[in-house]
Amino acid sequence: MTVQVFIDGAAGTTGLEIASRLGQRDDLALITLDEQRRKDDTARAEALNDCDIAVLCLPDDAARAAVAMIRNDRTRVIDASTAHRVAPDWTYGFPELCGRQAVATARFLSNPGCYPTGFLALVAPLVRDGVLPEDWPITCHAVSGYSGGGKAMIAQYEETAAPPVFRAYALSGGHKHLDEMRVHGGLVHAPVFAPAVVSGFRGMIVEVPLALAAMQGREHGSDGPAVDPAQIRASLQAAYEGSRIVRVAPDGAAPAALTIAADTPPFDDMVLHVLPSPDHAQVRLVAVLDNLGKGASGAAVQNLNLMAGLCETAGLRLAG
């Protein structure tokens, strides 16, 4: 039987990219609402209750309201918003970290945030494997394309004469992703999070620098085992072994730069770099991903495929 999918918020940035990924598929049928009805609650409630899987690409409050409109015990939900990411009765939709089976059987699934996807891919396996203590003081620097801010930010960048080329924000802390990073990272403390937006459309670089030597001999005890970049690499390689989506860049000389081209097409893979200093006293962990690929829309399609029992990567634009 063909799986019926309804994208609530299909005219938005994330929704459009999901629809374009699903457009050529014949194993799924899309329920669509025209421009006049896409924000009509009666039409939305009908679609939400008629579909097998609803993908919510809405602001947080609208996503909560959409879930409340579901009156049956059958419709399954993938929520791309922040609303349910640390809710205890929701499954966190990061199959490489939380398990494909958990995703495949989820009724209510929360799609990870874009920055947390890069952050958690780098940090969660290390904490889980005991390579990093759960109370390590972690910092995360990240740079996103402006599509990360949705339609409103796209308009700011594309309809303003001279938008900023670089915009650091969340300067007083309190970013909406902090809880998600802490909880799913297995961390005691939320990271110090320093995000920025640049004037390219898509893509993001998320970095977690670790001062390995500086931390030895402090609260973790001078006799404690040193954290070595080789252990970090081994933990990440084991976590993503066999994944076609998340991979660890080969060991060797660090690239001169990590870049995302201004006109880069959508991409769904995420590459993790382990970049130690020559003396291994420091390491920079860096994730390169598309905020609208593994950071949102591609991840939603991956989760949808697992939930519907379809090929995990069908419909994702994967290189190879």
Ligand X SMILES: CC(=O)N[C@@H](CCC(=O)OP(=O)(O)O)C(=O)O
114 binds ligand NDP (CB under 6 A): yes
Say whether residue 150 binds ligand NDP (CB under 6 A): yes
Q: Does 291 bind ligand NDP (CB under 6 A)?
A: yes
Report how many residues bind ligand NDP under the rule CB under 6 A. 27
| Partner in contact with 195, chosen from ligand X, ligand NDP, none, beta carbon below 5 to 8 Å by kind | ligand X
The contact mask relative to ligand NDP for 129-148 (x = CB under 6 A, - = no) is: ------------------xx
The rounded Cα 219 to chain-centroid distance in angstroms is: 31
Tokens of 290: 């598309």
Q: Which of 57, 98, 114, 140 is catalytic?
A: 114
What's the closest the beta carbon of residue 106 comes to ligand NDP, in angstroms? Answer: 18
List residues binding ligand X (CB under 6 A).
81-82, 113-114, 144, 148-150, 153, 176-177, 195, 197
Applying CB under 6 A, which of residues 75, 82, 91, 302 lies at the interface with ligand NDP? 82
Give the largest CA-CA distance in the chain. 67
Q: Kindly state whether residue 298 participates in binding ligand NDP, applying the rule CB under 6 A.
A: no
| DSSP label at residue 71 | -
Q: Phi, psi (5° rounding) for residue 152?
A: -65, -45
Three-class SS state of 234? helix
Which of ligand X, ligand NDP, none does residue 292 bind to, with CB < 5 to 8 Å depending on kind? ligand NDP
CA distance 159 to 45: 34
Q: Is 11 in the site for ligand NDP (CB under 6 A)?
A: yes
DSSP conformation class of 149: G
Nearest approach in angstroms of CB 221 to ligand NDP is: 39
- Confirm or reject binding of residue 293 to ligand NDP (CB under 6 A): no
Q: Does 235 bind ligand NDP (CB under 6 A)?
A: no
User: Is 57 designated active site?
Assistant: no
- Encoded amino acid at 110, one letter: S
The answer to whether 112 and 91 are in contact (CB under 8 A) is no
Angle between helices 178-185 and 114-128 (to 10 degrees): 20
For the bound state, the minimum distance from the C-beta of residue 5 to ligand NDP, rounded and expressed in Å, comes to 16
As a whole number of angstroms, the distance between CA 270 and CA 248 comes to 9
Torsion from C-alpha of 318, 108, 40, 36, nearest 10 degrees: 10
First and final CA of the chain: distance in angstroms?
Answer: 29
Residue at token pair 């802490």: 182
Q: Which residues belong to the active site? A: 114
- Interacting residue ranges for ligand NDP, rule: CB under 6 A: 8-9, 11-15, 38-39, 57-60, 62, 80-82, 113-114, 147-148, 150-151, 291-292, 295-296
